[in-house]
A and B are shown apart, each in its own frame.
Chain A
Amino acid sequence: MELVMTPTEMQVVYEHPRSLADVPTRYCPGCTHGIAHRLLAEAIDELGLLERTILVAPVGCSVFAYEYFNADACQAAHGRAPAMATGVKRMLPENIVITYQGDGDLVSIGAAEIMHAAARGEQITTIFINNAVYGMTGGQMAPTSLPGQKTTSSPLGRDTHLTGAPIRMSEVLAQFDGAAYIVRRSLHDVANIRKAKKAILTALKVQMAGLGFSMVELLSSCPTNWGIAPEKALDWIEENMIPHFPLGDYKVRDDVKAL
């Protein structure tokens, strides 16, 4: 059987998003930060936003996000991305300003900045990567670590009596009037990845329409620090993280529904 297609029969089914830089990343094999990057890049491409986008990278494994996208970018201090993004957006209201933050960055050290950005209805979009640990510093306990979860700073498992229970930030931020769109998605399988992409598109559209603060939380894997093989790490998201961090739409304001 002849398997070679002629050029006219060939069609592009997969290509490198224009917004994603063609450079090797520093992410570990199997880490879902890469998937989140690709989804964000595709969404920026599809909405034609690359030339207007200013990305604010965090401190964490994604600190080099500014190298991985072809957009103008800056790199904020740990947790301060929403404040830095506020400064950028207030000066450049026509631009699209996106923060990309981990859970240590956003839920712990930067809790105040994200809450006030949401409360002000700051016209920015946040991509929030929740992997239940501090990835970059070697897998310490985060405010999102699960009860009993063994990390390098909770070797006996997270003791909720001493360290509290996981903070569900999407639920928290949904309380603020300024928050227009707050949802939680997961990157553990193809169906969920597709839903995540759709949510990122909506979040960016919210900003384009000037409706307020938008955030997509993405449950993400950290095979390296969880000490689990990449494939199993995806199962771990589904089996262990989702029960503590239910997927869903926590705030979809009426004006967003009408988009």
Chain B
Amino acid sequence: MTKELLKGNVAIAEAAVRVGLEAYFGYPITPQTELLEHLSQRMTELGRVFLQAESEVAAINMVYGAASTGARVMTSSSSPGISLMQEGLSYIAGSELPCVIVDVMRGGPGLGNILPSQADYFQVTRSAGHGDFHPIVLAPASVQEAIDFVELAFDLADKYRHMVLIAADGQIGQMMEPAELPPMRPLRDSTPDWALTGAKAREKRVVTSLYLKGEDEEAFNLKIQKKLKQIKKTEQRSVEYATEDAELLVIGFGTAGRVAYSAVEAAREKGLRVGLLRPQTLWPFPEQRISELADCVSGCLVVEMNAGQMIEDVRLAIGGQIPVTFYGRTGGIVPMPDEVLAAIEESYHRLQITV
């Protein structure tokens, strides 16, 4: 396969088609709409299911129904639409169904704007819906990584019977980069043993999230908590750059992580011992690796396109061992590398690390 120049939203959509997407339900919202538009053509020409729903509320409940049949199913939206989906996401968690949700995050709160943002970190990692659960959250930092995460997302969803959310900021959705798509794969050839298909020559099956008795609901909760604990143990993912001898560890995800990478490179050129860790999974948060690195560095700088959300997870992972500082832009503004470099230098000097 060769690289092509691809827009993030289109790349995600096409990757999903190629890894066996059977159904898509969605509602237009900038900056993710090209994803829906691409699928409206591709899914239809392949004889698969595409439906533009009347709202994000309906879209996620269509996903809920389709996922109940064991199908590979996906929806996509952006921040305000994800807010509307939270009820459905909670039911999906309560029914242990696999599905993939793409959130191309934009500036908020309220209608906000259509610029790239990471202001929904709390929403996707902490409060994707009522009740005790976390989705698996993947945060790509390039078009190529977004493509790769689509396949990973479906595989993790199937493996754990759980929802996987790809949290891309608007920049990832909108920018064009050379990237390689996966080859076309056949659709699944088997149906899971919990899926609704009609009670023919077998006991009936039920998909529900209702457990009227406290003891039953607690037993179900313990079951999903056990699963989430396993996910936390085995699925933490991150990438690093120049962390071997770093004194200051910079942490950023998605586009902020990418900007931070340029800033860290520039800091290295100036002789500062700075390294970068970019979380690829926001939930489970790569706390194991961050905790290990905290033993080796003297301080940490968190860079986000929000007012400081992931920093809470960083602090939990580090446990007060070293100082943690923050640099962020909000409102849909993407920080420039030299702004981040200035923040690096300030943190570096505050730590009184001498070059």
The 12 listed contacts between A and B (C-beta, < 8 Å) are: A51-B198, A53-B198, A57-B208, A63-B210, A72-B206, A75-B210, A77-B87, A80-B61, A84-B64, A87-B23, A87-B25, A90-B66
Residues of chain A with a CB closer than 8 A to B200's CB: 51-52
Please report B residues at the A interface, Cβ cutoff 8 Å: 22-23, 25, 49, 51, 53-55, 57-59, 61-69, 71, 73, 87-88, 91, 95, 196-201, 204-210
**A-B contacts, CB under 8 A, total:** 130
CB distance from B61 to the nearest CB of A (A): 4
Q: When the two chains form their complex, are residues B198 and A52 in contact, meaning their CB atoms are under 8 A apart?
A: yes
Q: Could you tell me the distance in whole angstroms from the C-beta of A90 to the nearest C-beta in chain B?
A: 5
Given the known inter-chain contacts A75-B208, A83-B58, please indicate yes or no for A91 contacting B198, CB distance below 8 A: no
Complex Cα–Cα for A76 and B64 (A): 8
Q: How far is the CB of A79 from chain B (nearest CB, A)?
A: 9
- Give Cα A54–Cα B68 distance, bound, in whole angstroms: 11
A23 to B: closest C-beta gap in Å: 12
CA distance A39 to B258 in the complex (A): 62
Does any Cβ of B come within 8 Å of A31's Cβ? Answer: no
- How far apart sit A74 and B210, CA to CA, in the bound complex (Å)? 10
Let me know if B196 and A88 touch, CB within 8 A.
yes
Q: Known interface pairs A51-B200, A66-B208. Does A91 touch B61 (Cβ–Cβ under 8 Å)?
A: no
State in angstroms the CA–CA spacing of A74 and B207 once bound together: 4
Measured between C-beta atoms, what is the minimum distance from B185 to chain A in Å? 19
Q: Which residues of A contact B58 (CB under 8 A)?
A: 80, 83, 86, 112-113, 116
Check A88 against B69 for contact (C-beta < 8 Å). Answer: yes
CA distance A83 to B62 in the complex (A): 5
Are A91 and B49 in contact, CB atoms less than 8 angstroms apart? yes
- Residues of B near A85 (CB, < 8 A) are 65
List residues of A (30-72) whose CB comes within 8 Å of B's CBs: 50-54, 56-57, 63-64, 66-67, 69-72
- Interchain CA distance A235-B230 in the complex, whole Å: 58
**Given that A80-B57, A86-B62, A113-B58 are known contacts, is A74 also in contact with B208, CB under 8 Å in the complex?**
yes
Bound together, the chains give a CA A58 to CA B33 distance in angstroms of 31
Within 8 Å by CB of A90, from B51, B61, B199, lies B51
Contact of B55 among A75, A89, A112 (CB under 8 A): A112
- Are A72's CB and B196's CB within 8 A? yes
* Of the residues A56, A63, A70, A113, contact of B54 by C-beta under 8 Å: A113
Bound CA–CA A66/B206 (angstroms): 7
